[in-house]
Amino acid sequence: MSLQIKKVLYDLFLAGIKSVDPYEVVLKNVKISKNGIKIGRYLIKKPIYVFGAGKASYRMALGLEKVLGDFIKGGIVISTEKGKLKRIEHYTGTHPIPSKENFKYTEMIIEYMKSLKRDDIYIFLLSGGASALLEKPLHPITLDDLQKTTDILLKSGMDIHEINAFRKHISNVKGGRLAECTRAKGYVLVLSDVIGNDLGSIGSGPLYYDSTTYNYVFNLAQKYSIWESLPKSVKMIIERGVKGDIPETPKKENRRVKHIIIGDNFTALQGVYRRAKDMGIKVKIMTSTLRGDIKEVSKVIVSIVEEIIKTGNPFKAPVLLIFGGETTVKVVGNGRGGRNQELVLHLLKHTKNNLRIYVLAGGTDGIDGNTDLAGAVVGPEDWHRAMNKGLDIDEILRNNDSYTFHKLLGTGIKTGYTGTNVADILLVYIGKQP
C-alpha cells in the first residue's frame, strides 16, 4: 500500500511538471492572427527578433519557432540544455554558478540588442536560471569573484528575492540594465519561478525596474553575516553604490518593454490538482506562496496535518494537500542535499511512524541542491527503516546530508532535467485511520 501511495504522489508530481512544459505553454499563449502576433492582450506586429535566458528558454524558443516560423528574423538564447534551433542561435551555459561561457554569450546578446533599430521588435524568453546564465558583472568584479559570491549567497539562507537583489547590484545586465542597452520595443514572456511572480526578481529582472538599493544589499550582507567573506571587488562596488559614486539600478519601468507571465508555480499546482481529481482523490491546493526556513515551514505543515487528523478541520481525511513555493535552508554542514530532500526529512522527523502520512517534495526543474535528485518521497515505514539502519536524522540534518539518507533508503526521486522551472511542489497525503 505504501509503495502504491508513493507511486501515486510521484505521478502527480510529474503531472505538475508536465503542465508547465515550456514548449506547450508557449503554444497555448502565442497565436498568429491576420493582424499580427497575439500574446495575451498585446498584438505585436511582425517580424520579430528573439532573445532569452533561463532553464526553460530553449524549449520556450522551440515553441516560438513552431508558432512564428519565418516571422523570426534572428536572435540568441542561453539555456542549460543542449539543442539546435532553426532561426535563433542557441548556446548552453552553466547553472547555478556563472562561467566565462555565460559572460561570452551574454555579451553577444548585449551587442545584438544594441544593433536593433528603434522600430524593431523583440521577444525575450525569461525563466528561472537566468540570474546565472545571463551575466556581465560590474568592473572590476572577476569571474572568480562572482563565482565565490554566488556560492556564498546560495548557502547564506537568503530567499530568492534577497539573493537576486544582491545579484542585481553587482551586474551590468540585471535589475533593468539590459533594457537600457537597446532602442527596440520588447515583449518579455515569463515562466516564473518566483513566489508572487515579482517581475523584478524573476531572473533578477534584466528588463524590469528594480525597487531595491545598494543600502538594502549592504544591510543584507550584515544581516546574514556574509560581508567579511565577500570578495574585495564586490564589497568595493557595494560601498561605492551606498555612497552614490556609481548609478543605482533603474527605478522606473521602461515603457518600451512589456512583461507577460505565461506560466508559474500555481499553473503546476493546478496540473497536480486536475490529475488528482481524475484519479478520484480528494485534493486541496493550500498555497503557491510557501516560503521560509524549512525548519519553521515543516512545523507549520505538521500543525495543519495534526489539526486535520485530530478535528477534521479544515478538511477531513483522506485528503491530499498541495503546496507550492520555495523554501530556504542555511547550509552549515559539508554534506550533500537540497531544500526539498531536507524538507521531507524534517517532516518525517516530526510525523515519525504515523501510519497516515506520506510526503513528497521536489523541484520542478528536476534538480535539488547539489545532487542528481529532484527531491524525495517518504511514508511511515521509512522512519522504522531509518532506525533499523541506525541512521541519526538529527545528525544528517545538522550536516545538510539529506542526500545520503535518501540514497540509502531509496526514497529519492529522479526525473532528470525537465527543461522547465517554476519552483517547488510539496504533496502531503493524509490517509484514513489505520
Q: What is the three-state SS of the chain? A: CHHHHHHHHHHHHHHHHHCCCHHHHHHHHEEEECCEEEECCEEECCCEEEEEECCCHHHHHHHHHHHHHHHEEEEEEEECCCCCCCCCEEEECCCCCCCHHHHHHHHHHHHHHHHCCCCCEEEEEEECCHHHHCCCECCCCCHHHHHHHHHHHHHCCCCHHHHHHHHHCCECCCCCCHHHHCCCEEEEEEECCCHHHCCCCHHHCCCCCCCCCHHHHHHHHHHCCCHHHCCHHHHHHHHHHHHCCCCCCCCCCCCCEEEEEEECHHHHHHHHHHHHHHCCCCEEEEEEEEEEEHHHHHHHHHHHHHHHHHHCCCCCCCEEEEEEEEEECCCCCCCCCCHHHHHHHHHHHHHCCCCCEEEEEEECCCCCCCCCCCEEEECCHHHHHHHHCCCCHHHHHHCCCHHHHHHHHCCEECCCCCCCCCCEEEEEEECCCC
Proportion of the chain above pLDDT 90, given as a percent: 95
Distance in Å from the first CA to the final CA of the chain: 12
1 pLDDT tier (thresholds 50, 70, 90)? low
* Closest C-alpha to 428, from 339, 346, 372, 364: 346
Nine cell digits for residue 368: 535539488
Can you say how many angstroms the Cα of residue 8 is from the centroid of all Cα atoms in its chain? 24
pLDDT for res 185: 97
Q: Which residues of 320-335 are buried (b: 16+ CB within 10 A; e: fewer)?
A: bbbbbbbbbbebeeeb
Confidence of residue 175 (pLDDT cuts 50, 70, 90): very high
Strand pairing report for 89-92 and 257-263: unpaired
What is the rounded average pLDDT of the residues 238-252? 97
Whether 366 has a pLDDT exceeding 90, the answer reads yes
How many Å apart are CA 26 and CA 124, to the nearest integer? Answer: 12
d(CA 277, CA 281): 5
pLDDT of residue 289 exceeding 60: yes
Give me the pLDDT at residue 273, please: 98
Beta pairing class for 319-328 and 283-293 = parallel
Question: pLDDT exceeding 70 applies to what percent of the chain?
Answer: 99
**Strand pairing report for 424-430 and 319-328:** antiparallel
Per-residue pLDDT, 45: 87
Structural domains in the chain plus CATH codes: 22-263 (3.40.50.10180), 266-430 (3.40.1480.10)
Residue 10's pLDDT band, with cuts at 50, 70 and 90, is very high
What are the grid coordinates assigned to 403, written together?
Answer: 542526500
Q: Which of 37, 28, 32 is nearest to 123 (CA)?
A: 37
Q: Which three cell numbers stand for residue 204?
A: 533578477
Confidence (pLDDT) at 188: 98
Alpha-carbon distance 362 to 323, whole Å?
11
Residue 354 predicted with pLDDT over 90 = no
